[in-house]
A and B are shown apart, each in its own frame.
Chain A
Amino acid sequence: MKYLYLLWSNLRRKKMRSVLTVLSILVAFMLFAYLGAIRQGFSQGIDVAGLDRLIVRHKVSLIQPLPVAYESRIEQVEGVVDAIHQSWFGGVYQKPTNFFPQMPVEPEEYLAMYPEILLSDDERKAWLATRSGAIAGRGIADRFGWKVGDRIPINATIWTRKGGEQTWEFDLVGIYEGAEQSTDTTLFLFRYDFFDESRQFGQGQVGWYTVRIADPARSAEIAAAVDEVFANSQYETKTEAEGAFVQGFADQIGDVSTIIMAIVAAVFFTILLVAGNTMAYAVRERTNELAVLKALGFTDRGVLGLVLGECALLTAIGGGLGLLFGWLLVGMGDPTNGSLPVFFVPNRVLTAGIALIAVMAFLAGILPALQAQRLQIADALRR
């Protein structure tokens, strides 16, 4: 404890320099937390994909529809517990840049398939009772200021209504919450029966199926069995685990993870050298004082610890504040204005950040600390 005061006095010796060093470390860790959140946003879904869920889509591409009648045939495959269908509506709310997913589904089956979507009993009942009813995630509802009871007009880009009308009006009967922080709360879900009877064309066709299986260990085998059922039919399918499907989608965007990791590495490499050099300079400047300390009876290891401790203190203050500020900045909102389905700093990023603080403190401090340890009193005092 008594050394802490000594460390603190050393840092206060050149206040400006200490503050600037802390600030540059702070910036590095702030970026670390922020980019961690962006990375999470892009790879959303991979972590939360159910191990016991498969996705069935048209073999050639996702944009080609499958018949709604496939549902019961998929459910007959051995090992399948339940199958539901979803479709891509692709509408626009107010203006084209307001992007969020809208999907016609069968309410009860959908909610059973996705237990992470939390809807109150009253809202569930209201949805079942209202043909034009829709539910929205908390994230998207907050973004547009929607409340239960609002009438939401969505302009169709693909699915015009019978008679050529392009605007679909939905009654918002519920707002769902996510069971986890990583649950996507930007979805807008409405009823398939209402959709199917109102659309101008494409009756009886759906986008893709989500399938729940009894035993995740058998997913590859069951996926093959599903594809086998529809082989050589007019609509051949490709079935894969939900995780693989989502991963594939993220890969389509490109290797965002690699790009972000490269930026983080560049930032750290740069800042580590800048901050490390400053700390080394601060120690060199005090060669005399360190020699005095040694003359007073501080051991070599004691001086080593002192210098290392000083670097560690600087890094810990800067890094800790940086992670905190990064976390606060992320809390202020998504820079893409809603293009990312989730935007938060995952705990593992914070943990990794704390580990990085320790590593950085050691790397930045070890050279000047060793120098201080090796210092010969007589030489140093004469300088």
Chain B
Amino acid sequence: MESYKYVIIGNSAAGIGTCDGIRRVDREGTIAVISDEDMPAYCRCLTSYFIGGKVTEDGLLFRPRDYYQKNNIKPILGAKVVRIIPAEDLVELEDGRKIAYSQLMLGLGASPVLYDVPGKEKQGVYVLRTYEDAKKISHAAKPGMKAAVLGGGLVGLKSADALHHRGVEVWVIVTSPQIMSQTMDKDGADILRRQLEENGLHVMTEKEVVEIVGKDRAEGVKLKNGEVLPAEIVIFAKGVRPNIKLAKNAGIDCDYGISVDAHMRTSVKNIYSAGDVAEAKDFISGGKYIHAIWPNAIEQGIVAGKNMAGENVEYEGGIAMNSVDLFGLPSIAVGHTRVKKDSGFEVISLISPEHRYYRKIVLKDNVIVGSVCIGCIESAGVFSGLIRKRADVTKIREAMLRDDFDYAKVVAEGVVQDKEHFIKRD
């Protein structure tokens, strides 16, 4: 029977982050990475770029092809894990093979949600998560076609943008009153909507698709008000759900996702979890939450890996962070960006839709807990840093909203001390 010191299920951000974390501590211990996809580590966030023709298959890879060999990692690709047996420290593959581990990491990821809309099984109806999904959509997309994208989150908008670049006429259909309802506030979303519409996309808010019409193939979508929009391509982009089934069956504690502690350990000994499936510490609230985003998956993987290899590192906690560039208009939202009135948060903002400029800072007791930058984003990371430092920003309140805000002002006003880098003698 094959046996490895470290077995990692999942070959995306969390899995590769774990390999990186392990190899920073342990150069020798054997590692196996198992994935049901037969493809070296590639980035799912780039699948829409592939459809849009902006990257090739090689461009999807976020590590060189020789990464496994160089780091002495055994990739077991195209193999599905069907069972985890913690009592025997084994995982079982679909072909019956059993693989023994000393330490196991579950980077099981998440899957797109397919809502129960009649006609969803028709040809021409897709989700976008994997490279396989992207290839199918890319193959189907022909100039002059019409497409309906259901959902106005990042995946929805990025797929819409990609199809548009392929000459497809796209309708984005959203049930909420705004696009990006999970990651952006209304004012910001309105600027982005205008950007999409001026570039030829159709955006419909507060509209629900009740049926996908057509014979065997999708021909259109029927809205609640009875209206039918023609569409040969329908993409479901209504969010993802963590893949917890394997873990649950193995008796590992799960809530919405797999619950992990600050060391990324699950409830079962020698089993860790990270990425879109792991319900880990939230930096701002201190509670548990899944921020299913790339940087968090990498970081959690690194923490898990280091701990698996015997170090003692704690995860600081995740922060929601999203960046999207729509037709040349960049936008970044970090942390709490949608807060209700009288909820104890203070909001300061500066908006100029004609300049495509928007900046909003959400504060709690003079500490930043969220920020939105549209149009001018070069200092967006400075806000992320200030959130992490929990720095009192009273002195730079007004300056933060301007487009010339940068890290110099943070240091000059003493909001953050940076004496190791900036030498000053008085």
Question: Do A and B make up one complex?
Answer: no
| Residues of A that sit less than 8 Å from B by CB | none
